[in-house]
Amino acid sequence: RWDEPTAQFDHPALLVAVDRGRVVRLMVGGTAEPVRLLEVVRELRGGFVAACPRPGRVLFRCFQYDPRTGRFALGWGFRLLAVPATLTLLGTADLFVAARRGRPTWR
């Protein structure tokens, strides 16, 4: 990618860890921190390395930013979590009301 301030191409400064022909980790920048290098070694050995998807690649987010209005709005992820929780609360409330009235909870 072309970097205008330096008038040169920006490219990975260090390519690390090729496993069976597959690039495991691509590190960009002039310095390599020891912690990041240890993560690469751990990943190559088959160990667990915590990773999070990039924000643009997450399918369901709880909140989404609208650049036109400059505000956050509820996203599909929040709705998917809220619907089962709401149904559970309503069902539990119905059980308590039915028990207080003395009618059977099943029909």
Nearest-angstrom CA–CA distance, 97 and 7: 71
Question: What does the pLDDT look like over 65-102, one tens digit per residue?
Answer: 778 888 888 888 888 889 999 999 999 999 888 888 87
Average pLDDT over residues 33-45: 76
The predicted structure's pLDDT at residue 28: 63
Question: How is the chain split into domains, by residue range?
Answer: 1-51, 53-107
Residue 103 has pLDDT above 90, yes or no: no
- pTM listed for this prediction: 0.39
Average pLDDT over residues 27-56: 68
